[in-house]
């Protein structure tokens, strides 16, 4: 039976079977699950491309996985996946197709959606991006005074920042070190000021990235960047064309802003902001790592897209990530998900995933508008290991909340470290990656603690309860391809969750009200004379405080 139409997932026999099964698993300890099933550590493993997921340290059995796969079928995950890949308007509230998978499809023609050849358009833009990136990297794209570009500043926010910023950092070892890359997102003026303070306008290129080209933060930063540029170059407006490129779906607004649409790279409304860094939003990244490496990254994405589309659920890495998270969120009642990359280069990966996961699945109504009756999206957070170990792992080990964690690691260090003969250091790094999930899962009993000669009154403080679940995702090395594979795995994890919960993972109406209110409140801060205090009493008092603090009539 499928949970399509009006049927709630919680009313399916598959959900109820899981609820019952949870009663049997809830109090089982990972120590016992491993003792009973010695092959667990090698059997509860799946691969997709170069990624290996070991999900054995989760509070589940082979039966749980079977029941979760049945739940995926009941939710119609296969049909929904096909509908997405076919270009159906699965984003119902915005009446749009959802086709980020087409952005990394090597096919150069064939997929026709809403009367357009999607593959052909994607490849046309990719080719234009490649030629632009080559010109900048090769020093052939010169600024207003004829100097080559030495700094690229990406101005964008949310999906127009987090993807390229995260990926640039992740792939820094592959980047052109003769060019400085900066990412400005916040409307806090210090962000732009810091990013440009040591740059020379004559050799700086701004890439203004905004799907809508209406976002307050991005347009304000771009306007101020233009002012900085023109001040630095003597005020000749003609300089803008040499120092500004745009990435957007909105050619009209780009032209209104004053950027030559010759320097604009387009994409389409069927690419959601948080799914857009393999669209032209990745332009700054392509300049950094070059078109060839960029294409390797797209191929990595595509490998996992195809895996997700075709592999049975029990061998499907992204689907398993999604289904296991549903198991925790809806049956164990967890509310957060830690993502712990043992890779310094992945420092921004948790922040990137916050938008991907929380903007997608932070929803409380179903596709038909009725309220959900199951818990949905989790709070995603994390920091690179080992830094996190010295900060918040204490709570993971001995606190009172259950936090499922994804541990990520790479077998080999990047060339930068390898060439410096730092492989031994990488071993120490990896020993932490091995130790933490092991300590979380198996802990240390009171008897074991006491056997060390610990004073009886201290024993309870040193007991490590264990039974804290985790996944381990390992790839051979952090490359453009493995990064693409990893991101695609999480994208489809989010999709899997959304389908099970019956929600729309592709809209984000919840962010709109705050934007409207900010626009209403800005004049109250900016007005010459005292404003009307017609908001709530708390906001009124804060407006007064901010005005007084800046010497304005309050």
Q: Provide the greatest CA pair distance for the chain.
A: 78
- Which of 56, 154, 160, 196 touches ligand F6P (CB under 6 A)? 160
Indicate whether 100 belongs to the interface with ligand F6P (CB under 6 A). Answer: no
Q: Which is nearer to ligand F6P, 92 or 212 (CB)?
A: 212
Q: Which is nearer to ligand F6P, 119 or 361 (CB)?
A: 361
- Tokens (6 digits) for 232: 């630095």
Indicate whether 336 belongs to the interface with ligand F6P (CB under 6 A). Answer: no
Residues in binding contact with ligand F6P, number by CB under 6 A: 14
Indicate whether 185 belongs to the interface with ligand F6P (CB under 6 A). Answer: no
Nearest CA to 475 out of 270, 78, 155, 170 is that of 170
CB of 222 to ligand F6P, least distance (A): 10
- The interface region with ligand F6P, picked from 110-118, 155-163, 392-400, 494-502 by CB under 6 A, is 155-163
CB of 162 to ligand F6P, least distance (A): 8
Q: Which is nearer to ligand F6P, 193 or 518 (CB)?
A: 518
**Cβ of 59: how many Cβ atoms within 10 Å?**
24
Indicate whether 59 belongs to the interface with ligand F6P (CB under 6 A). Answer: no
Q: How far apart are CA 141 and CA 278, in angstroms?
A: 23
CB of 154 to ligand F6P, least distance (A): 12
Indicate whether 159 belongs to the interface with ligand F6P (CB under 6 A). Answer: yes
Binding to ligand F6P (CB under 6 A) within 287-306 occurs at none
CB of 249 to ligand F6P, least distance (A): 8
Q: Which is nearer to ligand F6P, 235 or 514 (CB)?
A: 514
> 460 with 445: CB under 8 angstroms?
no
- Which of 61, 215, 325, 496 touches ligand F6P (CB under 6 A)? 215
Indicate whether 154 belongs to the interface with ligand F6P (CB under 6 A). Answer: no
CB of 159 to ligand F6P, least distance (A): 3
- Which of 14, 169, 210, 337 touches ligand F6P (CB under 6 A)? 210
> 382 with 350: CB under 8 angstroms?
yes
Please list, in sequence order, all residues whose beta carbon lies within 8 angstroms of the beta carbon of residue 441, skipping any fewer than 6 positions away.
Answer: 30, 31, 34, 57, 466, 467, 468, 469, 470
If you write DSSP's letter for every residue of 20-43 in order, what string do you get?
Answer: HHHHHHTT--HHHHHHH-TTHHHH
Q: How far apart are CA 298 and CA 103, in angstroms?
A: 8
Q: Which is nearer to ligand F6P, 238 or 516 (CB)?
A: 516
- Which of 218, 337, 467, 471 touches ligand F6P (CB under 6 A)? 218
Indicate whether 91 belongs to the interface with ligand F6P (CB under 6 A). Answer: no
Q: Which is nearer to ligand F6P, 274 or 547 (CB)?
A: 274
Q: How far apart are CA 27 and CA 421, in angstroms?
A: 47
- Which of 3, 157, 259, 264 touches ligand F6P (CB under 6 A)? 157
CB of 172 to ligand F6P, least distance (A): 23
Q: What are the two backbone dihedrals, phi and then psi, of residue 324, each rounded to the nearest 5 degrees?
A: -65, -35
Q: Which is nearer to ligand F6P, 305 or 359 (CB)?
A: 359
Please list, in sequence order, all residues whose beta carbon lies within 8 angstroms of the beta carbon of residue 189, skipping any fewer than 6 positions away.
Answer: 224
CB of 265 to ligand F6P, least distance (A): 13
CB of 476 to ligand F6P, least distance (A): 31
Q: Which is nearer to ligand F6P, 173 or 359 (CB)?
A: 359
Q: How far apart are CA 416 and CA 74, in angstroms?
A: 48
Angle at 111 (CA atoms; ends 110, 113), nearest 5 degrees:
140
Would you give the DSSP letter of residue 240?
Answer: H
Indicate whether 212 belongs to the interface with ligand F6P (CB under 6 A). Answer: yes
Beta strands per DSSP E along 249-352: 264-266, 336-342
Nearest CA to 363 out of 355, 353, 371 is that of 371
Q: How far apart are CA 527 and CA 550, in angstroms?
A: 12
Q: Which is nearer to ligand F6P, 210 or 504 (CB)?
A: 210
Please list, in sequence order, all residues whose beta carbon lies within 8 angstroms of the beta carbon of residue 445, skipping any fewer than 6 positions away.
Answer: 463
3-state secondary structure 62-83: HHHHHHHHHHHHHHCHHHHHHH
Q: How far apart are CA 119 and CA 56, in angstroms?
A: 39
- The interface region with ligand F6P, picked from 144-152, 211-219, 497-505, 519-527 by CB under 6 A, is 211-219
Indicate whether 58 belongs to the interface with ligand F6P (CB under 6 A). Answer: no
Q: Which residues belong to the active site?
A: 359, 390, 515
CB of 280 to ligand F6P, least distance (A): 11
> 60 with 25: CB under 8 angstroms?
yes
Nearest CA to 228 out of 261, 180, 191, 280 is that of 191
- Which of 21, 274, 348, 493 touches ligand F6P (CB under 6 A)? 274
Q: How far apart are CA 78 and CA 500, in angstroms?
A: 11
Binding to ligand F6P (CB under 6 A) within 504-523 occurs at 508, 511
Query: Which stretches of the chain bind ligand F6P, using CB under 6 A?
Result: 157-160, 210-212, 215, 218, 273-274, 359, 508, 511
């Amino acid at each position: 039976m499928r949970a399509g139409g009006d049927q709630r997932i919680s009313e399916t026999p598959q959900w109820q079977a899981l609820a019952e099964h949870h009663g049997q698993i809830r109090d089982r300890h990972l120590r016992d699950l491993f003792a009973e099933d010695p092959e667990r550590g090698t059997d509860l493993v799946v691969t997709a491309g170069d990624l290996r997921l070991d999900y054995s340290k989760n509070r589940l059995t082979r039966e749980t996985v079977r029941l979760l796969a049945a739940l995926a079928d009941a939710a119609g995950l296969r049909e929904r996946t096909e509908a997405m890949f076919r270009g159906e308007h699965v984003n119902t509230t915005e009446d749009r197709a959802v086709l980020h998978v087409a952005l990394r499809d090597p096919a150069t023609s064939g997929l026709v959606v809403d009367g357009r050849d999607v593959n052909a358009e994607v490849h046309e833009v990719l080719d234009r991006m490649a030629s632009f990136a080559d010109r900048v990297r090769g020093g052939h794209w010169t600024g207003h005074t004829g100097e080559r570009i030495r700094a690229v500043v990406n101005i964008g926010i949310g999906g127009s920042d987090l993807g390229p910023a995260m990926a640039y950092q992740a792939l820094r070892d592959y980047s052109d070190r003769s060019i400085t890359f900066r990412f400005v997102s916040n409307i806090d003026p210090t962000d732009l000021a810091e990013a440009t303070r040591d740059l020379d306008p004559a050799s700086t290129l701004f890439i203004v990235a905004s799907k809508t080209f209406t976002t307050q933060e991005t347009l304000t930063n771009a306007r101020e960047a233009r002012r900085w540029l023109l001040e630095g170059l003597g005020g000749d407006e003609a300089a803008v064309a040499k120092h500004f490129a745009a990435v957007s779906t909105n050619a009209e607004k780009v032209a209104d802003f004053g950027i030559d649409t010759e320097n604009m790279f387009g994409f389409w409304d069927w690419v959601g902001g948080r799914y857009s860094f393999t669209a032209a939003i990745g332009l700054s990244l392509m300049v950094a790592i070059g078109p060839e490496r960029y294409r390797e990254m797209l191929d990595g994405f595509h490998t996992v897209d195809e895996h997700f589309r075709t592999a049975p659920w029990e061998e499907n890495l992204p689907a398993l990530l999604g289904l296991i998270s549903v198991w925790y969120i809806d049956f164990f009642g967890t509310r957060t998900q830690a993502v712990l990359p043992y890779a310094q280069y992945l420092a921004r990966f948790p922040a990137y995933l916050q938008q991907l996961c929380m903007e997608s699945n932070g929803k409380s109504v179903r596709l038909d508008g009725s309220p959900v009756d199951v818990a949905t999206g989790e709070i995603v957070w994390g920091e690179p290991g080992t830094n996190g170990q010295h900060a918040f792992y204490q709570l993971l080990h001995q606190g009172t909340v259950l936090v499922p964690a994804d541990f990520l690691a790479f077998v080999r260090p990047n060339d930068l470290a390898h060439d410096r003969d730092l492989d031994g250091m990488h071993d120490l790094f990896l020993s932490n990656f091995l130790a933490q999930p092991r300590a979380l899962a198996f802990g240390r009993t009171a008897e074991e603690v006491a056997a060390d000669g610990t004073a009886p009154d201290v024993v309870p403080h040193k007991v490590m309860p264990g039974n804290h679940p985790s996944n381990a995702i390992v790839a051979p090395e952090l490359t453009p391809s493995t990064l693409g594979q990893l991101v695609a795995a999480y994208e489809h994890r989010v999709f899997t969750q959304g389908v099970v919960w019956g929600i729309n993972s592709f809209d984000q109406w919840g962010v709109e009200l705050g934007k409207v209110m900010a626009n209403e409140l800005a004049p109250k801060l900016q007005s010459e004379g005292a404003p009307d205090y017609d908001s709530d009493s708390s906001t009124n008092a804060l407006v007064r405080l901010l005005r007084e603090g800046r010497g304005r009539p309050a």
